[in-house]
């Protein structure tokens, strides 16, 4: 890490833009109109570009220093692509990515080098993302070597510290990945990501490949890391409960677009986008007690349409029970709907009612939604 920045403060979870070197009020990471289209080849008789998979299509969001932003959505919604775009593992097709005031959208390798050490990534598969022929010591010190960083006391000491931070035995410095269990491997991945004292970690489904009991260990570890080291997170996951647990702010994606973004309580307690609401209602839950009123059940029909040929207008309209002609012709902007709280943005022409959902947690969905073929609402027996 460069000598101009003080060691990361042991900050409270409160987003702390003040610690950033950028002028106050500037978010750590700002993304506007971010787009990634993958070309599709085909045609006859000579193959050529015939279309594009619109994996990510015009995203706007920002991440404050020390904050955790959750990205949730079903497969094909573009959440992983987004993670790869902001770490610049993929080249954006359009839009702008600004990191601490610096435009890195199309930055060259050389320009990116200092930024790369501050933005780290944690991957889903703890088996595939560690080189099996390297010792844990080499894996964790790798980023320091590549960036030519010699911490005081030497790299080995730093690695041992890191291993201890992530809850591994520092004595395991010379072991190989295959000697560890899945959860421990993910801890090695976390240690590697922490090696350069990053300001932002992009975690792409970091716990979904792990067993339930191990998941919780890693979630807790990441939470400690985020709180104690003040590192900002972009937390990509499909599990809504895990995201809610980990992220202060959550963005829901559908077919390459953000349909709703809000702080955690707003999003889970008062979803304004029908998709968010449907998604929440589909999560199977062990209810806390039998006395709790039954949860609302919204069943979306069908699957997510192909991103190769997404629906016009609002992309959710083909599965939405509220869709009208307007939804097909006019793409709803991501705005603060009437009645929404500060920073609560949703992209829907007909946002969900506020009142019905905010009374109390237990009474979610007591008001039915009417008039739809695709929707069936029923109560659990």
Residues that bind other proteins (CB under 8 A): 44-47, 74-75, 181-184, 211-217, 219-220, 223, 238, 240-242, 244-245, 264, 268, 278-290, 297, 299-304, 361
For tokens 């920002």, name the residue: 62
Q: How far is the CB of 208 from other proteins (least distance, A)?
A: 10
Quote the tokens at residue 17: 């833009």
Helix (H, G, I), strand (E, B) or coil at 159: helix
Comparison of 23 and 45: residue with beta carbon closer to other proteins: 45
Helix (H) or strand (E) holding 79: helix 79-86
Comparison of 31 and 237: residue with beta carbon closer to other proteins: 237
Q: How far is the CB of 352 from other proteins (least distance, A)?
A: 16
Q: How far is the CB of 29 from other proteins (least distance, A)?
A: 23
Comparison of 1 and 262: residue with beta carbon closer to other proteins: 262
Burial of 160: CB neighbours in 10 Å, binned 0-12, 13-18, 19+: buried
Q: How far is the CB of 316 from other proteins (least distance, A)?
A: 11
Quote the tokens at residue 116: 């790369």
CB 117 within 8 A of CB 109: no
Phi, psi of 237 (to 5 degrees): -160, 160
Burial of 12: CB neighbours in 10 Å, binned 0-12, 13-18, 19+: exposed
> How many residues can be counted in the chain?
381
Comparison of 24 and 41: residue with beta carbon closer to other proteins: 41
Q: How far is the CB of 84 from other proteins (least distance, A)?
A: 20
Quote the tokens at residue 289: 């007690």
Comparison of 61 and 246: residue with beta carbon closer to other proteins: 246
CA distance 159 to 8: 17
Comparison of 105 and 186: residue with beta carbon closer to other proteins: 186
């Amino acid at each position: 890490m460069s000598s101009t920045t003080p060691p990361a403060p042991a900050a409270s979870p409160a987003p702390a833009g003040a610690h950033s070197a950028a002028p106050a009020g500037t978010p750590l990471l700002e993304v506007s109109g971010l787009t990634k289209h993958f070309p599709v080849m085909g045609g006859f008789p000579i193959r050529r570009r015939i279309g594009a998979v619109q994996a990510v299509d015009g995203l706007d969001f920002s991440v404050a220093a020390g904050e955790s932003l959750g990205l949730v959505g079903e497969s094909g919604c573009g959440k992983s692509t987004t993670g790869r775009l902001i770490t610049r593992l993929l080249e954006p097709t359009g839009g702008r990515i600004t990191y601490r005031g610096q435009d890195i959208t199309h930055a060259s390798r050389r320009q990116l080098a200092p930024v790369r050490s501050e933005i780290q990534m944690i991957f889903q598969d703890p088996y595939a993302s560690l080189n099996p022929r390297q010792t844990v010591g080499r894996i964790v010190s790798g980023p320091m070597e590549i960036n030519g960083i010699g911490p005081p006391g030497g790299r080995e000491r730093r690695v041992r510290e890191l291993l201890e931070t992530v809850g591994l035995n520092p004595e395991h410095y010379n072991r190989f990945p295959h000697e560890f269990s899945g959860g421990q491997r993910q801890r090695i991945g976390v240690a590697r990501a922490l090696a350069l004292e990053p300001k932002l970690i992009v975690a792409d489904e970091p716990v979904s490949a792990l067993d339930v009991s191990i998941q919780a260990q890693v979630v807790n570890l990441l939470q400690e890391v985020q709180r104690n080291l003040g590192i900002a997170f972009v937390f990509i996951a499909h599990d809504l409960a895990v995201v809610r647990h980990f992220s202060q702010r959550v963005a829901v994606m559908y077919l390459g677009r953000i349909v709703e973004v809000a702080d955690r309580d707003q999003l889970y307690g008062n979803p304004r986008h029908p998709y968010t609401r449907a998604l929440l209602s589909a999560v199977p839950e062990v209810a806390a007690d039998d006395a709790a009123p039954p949860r609302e059940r919204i069943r979306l029909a069908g699957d997510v349409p192909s991103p190769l040929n997404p629906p016009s207008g609002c992309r959710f309209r083909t599965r939405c029970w509220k869709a009208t002609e307007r939804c097909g012709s006019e793409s709803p902007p991501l705005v603060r709907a009437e009645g929404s709280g500060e920073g609560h943005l949703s992209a829907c022409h007909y946002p969900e009612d506020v009142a019905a959902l905010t009374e109390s947690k237990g009474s979610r969905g007591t008001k039915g939604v009417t008039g739809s073929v695709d929707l069936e609402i029923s109560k659990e027996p």
